[in-house]
Chain A
């Protein structure tokens, strides 16, 4: 049992990462690809936070009577990464909107066909 608890978080992280990866390489629709990228990204967030967790620890905010805190450093890295992540996702979505306007479609194979015609 302890073997499972020791690695469970990392296994789920790998599963989510692969789910995101699969969506990115197999989906035809660009919006879905962006969702896949976001799932991939979240899996990395969960991995960092899992690494920083200390069993029996508390949130890293100083309080009386608490001696063990979880590691604050991964929290800082991921907190900023989430906000940067949504900003970069927005750039990706904006590109998709422009692709739609230029090609009339956001399906990868369709605008590739149109490219081939040029």
Chain B
């Protein structure tokens, strides 16, 4: 049954991608891309990757779509007719695709427990992480403990990307709600947003702190919390949103998160362990792991929240400025 669902969903994904190629209306392209992300989230659920599906649904279908729409607002929604021939790209793609399809025949069959990928470190993670780290969610154990150094790098990349966007677009000045902004005139939107925003924030906190036991964690929680504020900014206007969460605060939060993460690693050094070794943080190794993971997940959540929100502020302030001119 799971195979059948997999077949159907992947087929739908392929059709969506095919449609995106030929559409000239970029607004429709972005909307289809949102659908594409939701479909891939469903596929991830079907392939047992619940944490990944969670992230894809929040990031791909939510944040990426909003950012692309923000760009379209500044660059125009129509793609102009293509002047150069499409024959050469088509040829390149067909040849590359054929070579890759030929290559897949050497891949181990899908879903086989004996696959090399499932033989290396994975059995150790599955069998020993519940005792060693003491968490039921193995993805969190691997993410925050075994591969914590890797995740520190990823968090730093998110932080760096936020710096990149801010240096290109700048943050909005805290301001002067002089012009009409947002969708305040729509009563239904306003009431629904007011009801739903607190729930989204509570859900983000749940995802943050329940991530050790169920699907979730800092990455998802940060994105969901940012989505709540983005919804607020979309409905009530950017000037009001920047009064609620000030751009200055975001700069501090984004760097704080990475610092909290790195400081946890350094604390391990001071207690006589390795960098990011949580076993030494408490008298009992498993308790130490718990402390370490909660603290670094918090750091991740703060950085991701601040980075995503400041990226959105960057795009929104550009759009706002274009509106004034």
User: Interface majority SS on B: helix, strand, loop or mixed?
Assistant: helix
Q: List chain B residues, Cβ under 8 A from A50.
A: 47, 110
Contact A75 B75 (CB under 8 A): no
Contact A52 B318 (CB under 8 A): no
Contact B74 A83 (CB under 8 A): no
Q: List chain A residues, Cβ under 8 A from B298.
A: none
The CB with the most chain B CB atoms within 10 A, among A11, A73, A81, A106, is that of A73
User: Taking CB as reference atom, which chain B residue is nearest A15?
Assistant: B14
User: Taking CB as reference atom, which chain A residue is nearest B121?
Assistant: A73
Contact A42 B168 (CB under 8 A): no
Q: A88: shortest Cβ distance to chain B, in Å?
A: 6
The size bracket of the interface on A is: 35 or more
Taking CB atoms and an 8 Å cut-off, the chain B residues in 147-165 that contact chain A are: 147, 150-151, 154, 157-158, 161-162, 164-165
Q: List chain B residues, Cβ under 8 A from A49.
A: 43-44, 47, 49, 52
Contact B51 A52 (CB under 8 A): no
Candidates A9, A19, A80; contact of B18 at CB < 8 Å: A19
Given contacts A45-B40, A53-B47, A53-B48, contact A14 B74 (CB under 8 A): no
- Report how far A90 CA is from B166 CA in the complex, Å: 10
Given contacts A19-B21, A27-B82, A82-B55, contact A70 B47 (CB under 8 A): yes
- Report how far A54 CA is from B122 CA in the complex, Å: 12
Q: B168: shortest Cβ distance to chain A, in Å?
A: 4
User: Taking CB as reference atom, which chain B residue is nearest A109?
Assistant: B83
Whether a CB of chain A sits under 8 angstroms from the CB of B315 is yes
- Report how far A51 CA is from B111 CA in the complex, Å: 7
28 contacts between A and B (CB under 8 A): A8-B110, A10-B110, A15-B17, A18-B94, A25-B89, A26-B82, A31-B30, A35-B29, A39-B33, A42-B37, A49-B52, A54-B113, A61-B50, A62-B137, A72-B126, A73-B122, A75-B52, A79-B51, A79-B143, A82-B60, A86-B59, A87-B308, A91-B168, A93-B70, A97-B74, A97-B168, A106-B76, A109-B84
